[in-house]
Amino acid sequence: MAGATGQDTGQEGPGVYAEVRNWLLAPSWLTIAIFMLMPVLLMAIYSFLTKEFRGGVIWDFSVASYDQFFLDRGLFGDEPPQLQWAYLTIYARSITQAGVATLLCLVIGFPTAYFIATRPASTRTGWLLLVTIPYWVNLLIRTLSMKFLIRDTGPINEWLMAYGFLDTPIKMINTDFAVQLGLFYSYLPFMVLPIYAAVERYDFALTEAAADLYSDRWTTLRLVLLPTVAPGVIAGCILVFVPSLGAFLAPDLLGGAKNFMIGSLIEEQFKGQSGNWPFGATCAMVLLTMVLVAVFFYARQQAKSTRAGS
C-alpha cells in the first residue's frame, strides 16, 4: 500500500523538476522535521529530566524515570533494587491484547481478503470499498458503537434475554475480550488490504499444478498459497499489531479500569496534577522503541521480498 510510491518507477528520465527538487520537498520536510521529528527527540530528552510537581519538568539530568519503570526499590526507596513488574505487566498485557487482536484479524481477514481477490473484477471493487469504509469512519464513534452493542443492557443482551436465551446478561463489556474485539474492529481493514494485494498477484496456475500433483486444497493452502503470499500476511500483521499496541480508545472505552494498556498509562502521566511528564515520556519511549523494532523488521522483510523478484 505505502511501499510502491517511494520506489523508483524505472521509466523516468532526468525529470523536469530536478533543479527545484529541494524547494518542492522543503515544505513537507520542514513541517515534519520541526513538528514531528524534533518533538520526538525532545520527548527522548524529557525522559531523562526531573519531574516537577503539578506537571512539567525541571531541567536536571536524571534517570529516575527509567529507574521507576524498570526497578522496584521498595516503599521508601532504600531496599535493594528488584525488577519492577507493575509497568512491565501493562506492556506485556498490551502485547498480548494486540497479539490476540492481530490473530483475530488474521483468522477473519485472510479468508475475507482471499474471497475478495477471487471475486470477478466487477464485484471486487465493491467488496474492497465495503471493507475500507469503516476504517474512515471516526474511530471514536466506532468504538462507541461497539460499547453500545455489547453493554450489559445493550441490544445483544436485551435481545437474547427478551427471547429467553438468557436469564442474566453475558458480561462482555470491561473484559479482555471486549478490548480484543474493539482492536480487531478498529484495524481489520489494515489486515485485509495487504493480503488482498498479495493474493491478487498470486498465480493460480500454482494451485492447479499442486492439484495435478494430488495435493488437496488445504495442503495447497499450507504449502503453496501461504508461503507465496507471506509478505502480504506479514505486512497485515504489523499494520494491525503496531497501532493496537498503542491504542487508547478501545481499552479506555471497552476495557474499564482493570484492563489498563500502554495508551492509558501514558495518557495518565500527562493529565492533571498527579502527572509525571518525564515518566510519561519514558513510557512513550519504550513503546516507540518496540514499534521501531517491529517496523525495522517489516522494512527488511519488504526489501527482501522486492529483491526476490515479482
User: Which residue, chain included where needed, has cell 522543503?
Assistant: 26
Minimum gap (Å) between residue 85 Cβ and other proteins: 22
Minimum gap (Å) between residue 43 Cβ and other proteins: 4
Nearest to 200 by CA among 232, 222, 235, 227: 232
Evaluate whether 252 touches 264 at the Cβ level (below 8 Å).
Answer: yes
Minimum gap (Å) between residue 16 Cβ and other proteins: 5
Minimum gap (Å) between residue 116 Cβ and other proteins: 7
Residue type, 168: T
C-alpha cell at 104: 483475530
Residue 229 or 266 with smaller CB distance to other proteins: 266
CA distance linking residue 110 with residue 79, whole number of Å: 51
Residue 64 or 156 with smaller CB distance to other proteins: 156
Distinct helix (H) and strand (E) counts, the chain: 14, 4
Residue 15 or 309 with smaller CB distance to other proteins: 15
Q: Which residues contact 157 (CB under 8 A, 6 or more apart)?
A: 150, 151, 166, 169, 170, 172
Residue 76 or 218 with smaller CB distance to other proteins: 218
CA distance linking residue 177 with residue 255, whole number of Å: 9
Residue 27 or 164 with smaller CB distance to other proteins: 27
Number of Cβ atoms within 10 Å of the Cβ of 140:
10
User: Which residue, chain included where needed, has cell 507493575?
Assistant: 86
Residue 71 or 217 with smaller CB distance to other proteins: 217
Minimum gap (Å) between residue 21 Cβ and other proteins: 4
Residue type, 255: G
CA distance linking residue 173 with residue 137, whole number of Å: 22
Residue 82 or 96 with smaller CB distance to other proteins: 96
User: Which residue, chain included where needed, has cell 519492577?
Assistant: 84
| Angle between helices 85-117 and 226-245 in degrees, nearest 10 | 140
Evaluate whether 88 touches 66 at the Cβ level (below 8 Å).
Answer: no
C-alpha cell at 99: 497479539
